[in-house]
């Protein structure tokens, strides 16, 4: 639940004008920031992975050249949403979604307790890493991007990748590869010399869209569509704001966390998404999102009975920020 922002001396119109000027000023200053998020560097971004699995992903994500901790994290997030009890309609099981036949061959007892258990992340995460690297070796001579070929082999099998000379023309597999590669950056910490993140050129348009919705009543599950009377919930607002500038975001807040790199609190720029969580070590506990507008404030759709408004971002449940990127 967000608290009402009390902005002394500024009415809604005055604050909106302040924000408009601030956006221009911040982006003018930001034009001098050099570089983007940079290469992975083998490290996970802070709080990108649930704390219970961070060490496993960090260790096993560096198992082979085609794999990285960020890539492994993006894959596990796509496979199960970090749910160790997940089971699909196709009988895929556990946090890494192994089907029983594949687990029987490639599952390992990584924690040394005498059992290779598909439901135990201490076995399943290392098994996913070793299986990825095995697949990478199978398809290493196939033309194209070796990382994408590895991911395609995880989804469709190595023989399909070999048969088609790269990512096979299956919609499911192509989407699987695209989603994981797009999410990879959000799980990766940039190298020490590239900590500053480049501003999004489209962020000002997203902020403008959000400003246009100020005063609109909140609606749980609202997407701003005619059937919702133009009303939004928190993630519906952020999704619509970035959709207006051509960037597609996931629908719910804790999935939007993985839509780009993560600026630090002192690096925030207008347009960054700011998140709030029940557990500050676990991105799956995110319960709220807003669009940062500068000066310590965001525009957000707070809760039932409230209207879209300006709120401060500095609160005990502040989790972090994401700078959405196209693609």
What is the domain-level CATH number for residue 246?
3.90.1720.10
Cα 107 to chain centroid distance, Å, stands at: 28
Burial level of 287, CB count in 10 A (0-12/13-18/19+)?
Answer: middle
Per the CB < 8 A criterion, the answer to whether 215 and 176 are in contact is: no
Q: What's the confidence (pLDDT) of residue 96?
A: 97
Cα 282 to chain centroid distance, Å, stands at: 12
Tens digit of pLDDT for each residue in 51-83?
899 999 999 999 999 999 999 999 998 899 899
Q: Does 284 score more than 90 pLDDT?
A: no
Q: Is 33 within a domain?
A: no
Q: Does 311 score more than 90 pLDDT?
A: yes
Tens digit of pLDDT for each residue in 75-93?
998 899 899 999 988 899 9
- 70: CATH: 1.10.530.10
Of 137, 172, 189, the one marking the end of a domain is 189
Query: Do 180 and 259 share a domain, yes or no?
Result: no
Per the CB < 8 A criterion, the answer to whether 39 and 261 are in contact is: no
Of 132, 155, 189, the one marking the end of a domain is 189
Q: What's the confidence (pLDDT) of residue 43?
A: 84
Q: Is 47 within a domain?
A: no
The H or E element containing residue 280 is none
Q: Is 40 within a domain?
A: no
DSSP-assigned beta bridge partners for residue 288 = 276
Query: Do 211 and 173 share a domain, yes or no?
Result: no
Query: Do 289 and 203 share a domain, yes or no?
Result: yes
Q: Which pair of structure tokens corresponds to residue 188?
A: 């990766």
pLDDT greater at residue 295 or residue 158: 158
How far apart CA 195 and CA 243 sit, in angstroms, is 27
Per the CB < 8 A criterion, the answer to whether 286 and 280 are in contact is: no
The H or E element containing residue 17 is helix 12-30
How far apart CA 110 and CA 92 sit, in angstroms, is 20
Of 141, 168, 189, the one marking the end of a domain is 189
What is the extent of the structural domain holding 260? 196-322
User: What does pTM read for this prediction?
Assistant: 0.63
E strand spans, the chain: 273-277, 286-294, 297-300, 309-312, 318-322
In the chain, how many domains are there? 2
Query: Do 183 and 205 share a domain, yes or no?
Result: no
Tens digit of pLDDT for each residue in 182-236?
888 888 876 654 455 667 778 888 999 999 999 999 999 999 999 999 999 999 9
């Amino acid at each position: 639940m967000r608290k009402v922002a009390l902005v002394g001396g500024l009415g809604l119109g005055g604050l909106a004008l302040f924000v408009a000027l601030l956006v221009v000023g911040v982006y003018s200053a930001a034009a001098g920031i050099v570089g983007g998020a940079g290469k992975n560097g083998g490290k996970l971004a802070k709080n990108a992975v649930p704390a219970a699995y961070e060490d496993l992903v960090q260790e096993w994500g560096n198992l082979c050249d085609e794999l990285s901790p960020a890539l492994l994290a993006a894959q596990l997030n796509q496979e199960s949403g970090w749910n160790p009890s997940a089971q699909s309609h196709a009988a895929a099981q556990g946090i890494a979604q192994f089907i029983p036949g594949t687990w029987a061959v490639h599952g390992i007892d990584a924690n040394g307790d005498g059992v290779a258990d598909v439901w135990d992340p201490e076995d399943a995460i290392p098994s996913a890493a070793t299986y990825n690297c095995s697949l990478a070796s199978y398809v290493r001579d196939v033309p194209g991007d070796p990382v994408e070929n590895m991911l395609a082999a995880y989804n469709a099998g190595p023989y399909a990748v070999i048969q088609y000379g790269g990512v096979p023309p299956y919609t499911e597999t192509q989407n699987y590869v695209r989603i994981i590669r797009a999410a990879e950056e959000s799980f990766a910490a940039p190298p020490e010399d590239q900590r500053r993140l480049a501003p999004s050129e489209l962020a000002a348009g997203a902020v403008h869209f959000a400003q246009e919705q100020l005063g609109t009543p909140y609606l749980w599950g609202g997407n701003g569509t005619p059937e919702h009377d133009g009303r939004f919930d928190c993630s519906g607002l952020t999704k619509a704001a970035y959709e207006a500038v051509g960037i597609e975001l996931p629908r719910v807040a804790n999935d939007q966390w993985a839509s780009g790199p993560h600026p630090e609190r002192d690096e925030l720029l207008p347009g960054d998404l700011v998140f709030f969580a029940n557990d500050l070590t676990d991105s799956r506990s995110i319960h709220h999102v807003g669009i940062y507008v500068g000066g310590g404030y965001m525009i957000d759709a707070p809760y039932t009975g409230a209207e879209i408004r300006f709120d401060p971002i500095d609160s005990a449940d502040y989790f972090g920020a994401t700078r959405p990127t196209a693609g």
